[in-house]
Structure 1
Amino acid sequence: MGLGILEPSAGGHVPGTSFMGAMGPKNNVGGYEGEQMDPKLKYDTSGPVPIVLVPQPSDDPNDPLNWSLVKRDCITAILCCVSVLASCLSSILASNTIYIAIHINENVNRVAALTGYHLCGVGASGLIIVATARVWGKRHLYVLGTVLLCITSIWAGAAQSYKSLLWARIIQGVAVCPFEALVNASVGDLYCVHQRGKRMAMTNFALFGGAFMTPVVVGKITTVMGWRWPFYFVGIFAGVCVPFVFFFCPETAYRRATQYNTDLSSNSQTHILPFNGRVTPAAMDFPDPIPVLSKEAGATPIENLDTDIPPPRATFLQSLALFNGRKTSDSLWKLILRPIVLIVHPAVFWGMLTQGALIGWSVMIGVVIAYIFMMAPVRFHEEQIGYMYTGAFLGAMLGFLLAGMLADWSTRVMTRWNKGVFEPEFRILLVLPQAITGITGVFLFGWAASKPETYGWALPDFFFGMEVMGMIIGAVAASLYIVDAHRSIAVEVFTTFLLFKNFFSYALTTGAFDWLMELGTWRLFWTMGIAQIAVCALSIPMYVWGKKNRRLMQRWDILRLCRLD
């Protein structure tokens, strides 16, 4: 048992567990004290301690893991910029719903429902979009999504009827879907395990943090320029992003030979080669030390791989192709059904709640802000309601910074304590700061918002920020765990997350006012806080038995049992 993680009763390597090295610092002659790097393996030697790359890059120059780190970070930065625009559309009506209802002479509830229909558009399109991403890659969907963001935002701004605005919002949901569902999976495509933490924090901040800055800006724009201009600005900025996505975001999906996917290999495919004299099989609690294909299994050992001449590097013009071949031979219809079946996967269910619950509570807080603080005794107008989201945006920023600092650092520390062996369950430790900030934020927001005449707006806004801080950290924890522990199904899992998050949020928006009237602010958020405690408590068995679950899911593959493999 390593650091509280129970080992499966059956021996052998468990997919997701990887050896990342346990070497000493550099010495004065350019080597490493007491160690010698294994020539069969590739390392990251940019820091004071060499780290085994997991997964191992192939010798193909078109393998994204072989691209320069600057190129990969530029791709991530561009996708994050578009993700900010995509995420802002979910909350673009948060501060000006009543204003729009008055100006288009429509019922307030019907205008508020536009956000719910938008979320349904995201969720309903997720199954089709992600299935096509598995078959043909992600690039064409990023390009299509950016173009649709531009078109539908201009359409929404120019809409002259409720029906036109409704359909613009639904199709905006389709445009948002590729970014909500695929950007985190692209981090898994572009980076090795030890490089993902900060990048995953950045993508989650872009996907969720931008939504909380939007009402602040939209409230001011609506007051000064009218309700149409927030949509126009999104359309303009999306139009600016189109050439960047088209020219500088090549396909990130890559069919790497199984031998290199050392984080996905199983005992039936691999054995462990000795790394050095100091790290022993007993110390690692493995039958042997780094996953490589077994000679006994009739495969080629890693030192003899790629004996053929590697393919030439794709030219810039070739990289602009929207499609560069199928990424899987699986049936499209099977891929569409996979995210639904995966709900019963224990790790997916845990991640779905860890990421999605606090997102739902954030939606509820938005409803309460719009209702309580526009009524007596506060009587805020649209611009001031927008400013109430400042605390949430600052909380998202702090959550991003904390998750970014802790994600990779904590993993390196835990891996070193575990004699160089990385376990994906180390990522679950991020739930601890999520629980502290998220649960505190939910309870104390309900307490402060229940008496606005006493506590005013500043204290509820502060606790809103705490709740959002926990939300960002939880999203990073769930995303990292899935990418590290179950990377082969990460795309489908993120689709499951997307479906739950959007339909859960939609359900909350439809019943929010009724629950608020029936229970009152404090009782409503007390109930949500208790539910969040239960969600965070699920991380304890997930950490302890997560490795056993990985072995169980390897042997009793849910997709294979449902004939969807």
Structure 2
Amino acid sequence: MAAYALTITYYYERNLTAVAILTGYQLCGAGVAGIFIVPTARVWGKRHLYLLGNILMIASTAWAGASGHNYKSLLWSRVIQGVALAPFEALVNASVGDLYFVHERGKRMAFSNVALFGGSFLTPVVAGKIAASMTWQWTFYFVAIFTGVALPLTFFLVPETAFRRPDYLNTDFEGDDERRSSQQLRGDRNDGTNSPSMDYSEPPEYEEKEAKSGSDERHREQTNGAETVIPPRDSYLKTLRPFNGRKTDESFFKLLLRPFPLFLHPGILWACLIQGVLIGWTVFIGVVLAAIFMGPPLWFDSVKTGYLYTGAFIGSIVGLVLSGLLSDSMNRVMIKLNKGKYEPEFRILLVFFQLLFAGTGLYGFGITSSDVGRWGWLIPDVFLMFVIIGMVMGAVASALYIVDAHREFSPVAASFNVSVQLIRTGRIAVEAFTCLLIFKNMFSFVLTFFAYDWLVESGVRTPFLAIGSIQIAVCLLSIPMCKQPSPL
């Protein structure tokens, strides 16, 4: 809605803060719904949540377009839109993990992130043109139409990806279990306080044989020597059921409350700050963009304001490419320097580039956009691209660190009675991603309340110099994270 924010103010006769809150409440809806979405998916699976989210999106966007001059009606429709988005924001990456082996997930994860970040910055380019040509209500009607087309595709082509599996089929973690067992047999100590590391000094063939033999032995133990009975494969019609049984025997309320203690964990709090704070600044930029460029001296209309997001879209693509290239190359170098052992802390090095791009982008955007008569629109748009590059790189760094490091037992989690089964299967990462979802959406929600007032009181330059300094301070928190082993 940033591209046609002034149109909304005239239509409802409200100030720009009221327009920003429309975005804020959508983020709030996604954040609050995420608290319930993840445990629901853990207990009953993901398919029904995708279907529910799709249906709610159709209804809420049609509602928003038909809200007329009732501002409260539009506001509540935005809240429901946030609820509808929560399953897709919280569960798509988990579904990728369900469907593919570890070595197959990289490209699929990258594609899902392109859809998330790239799509969110590409749509304003189109939305501004639609609002100018067909009224702003059609930006919602088109979403309702496209999600309506997606609903039968989701129903017929997206099966349930969560299943109840025996432990010996959890191939993501059996390698870690067998490696830990082999280290203990060799006399190596592991007290559970250091971060998990992968030793690349041993031949891959040895590790593969060792893991296979351990898997076979565990299989024989669980079946007591009897032949394993493989249940028949469900027919296609059965796969269309929204529900097909519970996926865990754990209590729903226990799963619901489990993520909150993890906010006290240093590693997870660091990841929330690295990813969520900069995402909040991009939301801040989005809600004030209209005030900067749609007024004097440029007097941009909704179409030109929407076109400014081209830089953000390019930044999201560049950020993903750089993240992949730099993360892999830095890992190879650090593994060699670390005598063949991989440490999750290597992922944190990517934050240096977040600091470089985000710091440059926030400072540069604030300085140049405070005098657009002198600098024009292109230079601020380039700095906006830098901000988005930094945002993507920080999101990738924090996500990779959580996946790699949060696979062992945490003393903080122990103090809050997080189950050993959860830690043993590595599922603490799911709760960590829930913390990220809650933090980034609620932080962005809070920013929308005072973004315009801060801009009016202090001008454009001062707020962006302040948030640029805050972002640098957040990035510098990575130094103590790198200097000591992960607490998990």
Normalized against structure 2, the TM-score is what? 0.83
Q: In structure 1, what residue type is equivalent to 2:33?
A: S
What residue identity is the alignment partner of 1:536?
C
Instruction: State whether structure 2 residue 182 is matched by structure 1 residue 243.
Output: no
Aligned partners of 1:389 and 1:520: how far apart in 2? 22
Is 1:317 paired with 2:237?
A: yes
In 2 relative to 1, CA 421–241 (structure 1 residues): closer, same or farther, beyond 3 Å? farther
3-state DSSP of counterpart to 2:250: coil
Count, aligned residues: 448
Cα distance in 2 for partners of 1:385, 1:189 equals 40
User: How far apart, in 2, do the equivalents of 1:342 and 1:282 lie?
Assistant: 31
Aligned-partner SS, 2:2: coil
Give, in angstroms, the shift of residue 406 of structure 1.
Answer: 4.1
Question: What is residue 252 of structure 2 aligned with on the other side?
Answer: 332
1:73-84 matches, within 5 Å, as none
**SS of the counterpart of 2:282?**
helix
Contact 1:221 1:227 in 2 (8 A): yes
Per-residue deviation, 1:426: 3.3
Q: Residues of 2 paired with 1:484 and 1:321: CA distance?
A: 34
> Kindly tell me: are residues 252 and 478 of structure 1, through their superposed partners in 2, closer, same or farther at Cα, counting changes over 3 Å?
farther
* 2:17–2:449 Cα contact (<8 Å) kept: no
* Aligned-residue offset at 1:314: 3.2
**Is this contact kept in 1: 2:178–2:211, CA < 8 A?**
no
Aligned counterpart in structure 2 of residue 136 of structure 1, from 19, 44, 67: 44
Query: 2:100 & 2:444 partners in 1: Cα distance?
Result: 31
Which residue is equivalent to 1:509?
448
Corresponding residue to 2:59 among 127, 147, 151:
151
Q: 1:175 Cα shift?
A: 0.1
Aligned residues of 1:150 and 1:236 also touching (Cα < 8 A)? yes
The corresponding residue for 2:374 is 454
Is 1:434–2:343 an aligned residue pair? no
Deviation at 1:482, TM superposition (A): 1.9
Residues 171-250 of structure 1: pairs in structure 2 closer than 5 A: 171-250=80-159
1:110 matches 2:18: yes
In structure 1, the residue matched to 2:419 is none
1:466 paired with 2:386, answer yes
CA distance in 2, matches of 1:281, 1:214: 44
Residue 297 (structure 2) aligns with: 377
Asked whether the equivalents of residues 264 and 488 of structure 1 are also in contact (C-alpha less than 8 Å), the reply is no
Match of 1:365 among 277, 281, 285: 285
Residues 355 and 165 (structure 1 numbering): CA distance in 2 closer, same or farther, change over 3 Å? Answer: same
| C-alpha separation in 1, matches of 2:165 and 2:327 | 26
1:496 to 435, 459, 462: 435
**Which residue in the other structure is 1:164 paired with?**
73
Residue matched to 1:12 = none
Structure 1 residue 405: Cα displacement: 3.7
Note the alpha carbon deviations across 1:135-181, whole angstroms, 9 max, x for none.
11211111111121112111111112222212211111110111111
Aligned pair partner of 1:271 in 156, 181, 184:
181
Equivalent-residue separation in structure 2 for 1:336 and 1:188 (angstroms): 21
CA distance in 2, matches of 1:237, 1:539: 41
Aligned residue for 2:480?
541
Q: What is aligned with 1:529?
A: 468
The alpha-carbon distance between structure 1 residues 433 and 220, as it changes in their structure 2 partners (threshold 3 A), is same
The 1:430/1:247 distance shift into structure 2, 3 A limit, reads farther
Residues 281 and 121 of structure 1: CA distance in aligned 2, closer, same or farther (over 3 Å): closer
Indicate conservation of the 8 Å contact 1:182/1:494, yes or no.
no
Larger mean CA deviation between 258-267 and 453-462 belongs to 258-267
Asked if the contact 1:197–1:480 (Cα under 8 Å) also holds between the matched residues in 2, the reply is no
Give the match's secondary structure for 1:96. Answer: helix
**Partners of 2:368 and 2:375 within 8 A in 1:** yes
Partners of 2:365 and 2:242 lie apart in 1 by 46
* Aligned ranges 1:76-95 → 2 under 5 Å: 93-95=1-3
2: CA distance between counterparts of 1:202 and 1:406?
Answer: 17
Do the aligned residues in 2 keep the contact of 1:399 with 1:473 (CA within 8 Å)?
yes
Q: Structure 2, unaligned stretches of length 5 or more?
A: 185-197, 407-425
Query: Which structure shows the bigger proportion of residues in helix conformation?
Result: 2
Q: SS of 1:272's equivalent?
A: helix
Q: Does 1:425 align with 2:345?
A: yes
1:184 is displaced (CA, Å) by 2.2
After superposition, the Cα gap between the structure-2 partners of 1:118 and 1:282, relative to the gap in structure 1 and judged at 3 Å, is: closer
Partner Cα distance (1:352, 1:515) in 2: 24
Distance, in Å, in 2 between the alignment partners of 1:123 and 1:319 is: 30
Q: What secondary structure, in the 3-state scheme, does the structure 1 residue paired with 2:181 have?
A: strand
TM-superposition CA deviations, 1:403-460 (whole Å, max 9, x none): 2444456556655776765443333333233222222111111121122121111100
- Helix, strand or coil at the partner of 2:162: coil
Shift of residue 293, structure 1, vs aligned partner: 10
Q: Closer, same or farther in 2 for the Cα pair 1:409/1:232, shift >3 Å?
A: farther
Is the contact between residue 204 and residue 475 of structure 1 (CA under 8 Å) also seen in structure 2?
no
In structure 2, what is the Cα distance between the partners aligned to 1:494 and 1:322? 24
Counterpart residue identity of residue 266, structure 2: P
Alignment CA distance shift 1:253-1:431 (3 Å): farther
Question: Partners of 1:254 and 1:427 in 2: how far apart?
Answer: 30
Identity %, equivalent residues:
51
Q: Deviations over 1:462-484 (max 9, x none)?
A: 00011011111211222222233
Q: Please tell me the residue identity of whatever aligns with 1:441.
A: G
Q: Tell me, what secondary structure is at the counterpart of 1:499? A: helix
Task: Say whether the 8 Å CA contact 1:270–1:292 is kept in structure 2.
Answer: no
1:257-279, CA deviations, whole angstroms, 9 ceiling, x for partnerless residues? 334546546779951289xxxxx
Deviations 1:239-284 (A, max 9, x none): 111122222222222334334546546779951289xxxxx98956
- Report the Cα offset of residue 338 of structure 1: 1.8
Sort the Cα spacing of 1:304 and 1:140 in 2 relative to 1 into closer, same or farther, 3 A. Answer: same
Q: CA 1:313–1:499 in structure 2 vs 1: closer, same or farther (change >3 Å)?
A: same
Partner of 2:422: none
* Alpha-carbon distance in structure 2 between the residues aligned to 1:403 and 1:470: 10
Task: Give the Cα–Cα distance (whole angstroms) in 1 for the partners of residues 325 and 235 of structure 2.
Answer: 36
State the Cα distance separating 1:236 from its structure 2 match. 0.8
Residues of 2 paired with 1:159 and 1:439: CA distance? 40
RMSD: 3.1
Conserved 8 A contact 2:200-2:342: no
Q: Distance in 1 between matches of 2:329 and 2:159?
A: 30
- Residue-by-residue CA offset, 1:6-25 (whole Å, 9 max, x unaligned): xxxxxxxxxxxxxxxxxxxx
Q: Supply the distance in 1 between the matched residues of 2:177 and 2:315 (Cα, whole angstroms).
A: 43
Question: Which shows bigger deviation, 354-363 or 106-115?
Answer: 106-115
What is the TM-score with the length of structure 1 in the denominator? Answer: 0.72
The amino acid of 1:520's aligned partner reads G
Of 342, 349, 356, the residue aligned with 2:276 is 356
Contact 1:114 1:166 in 2 (8 A): yes
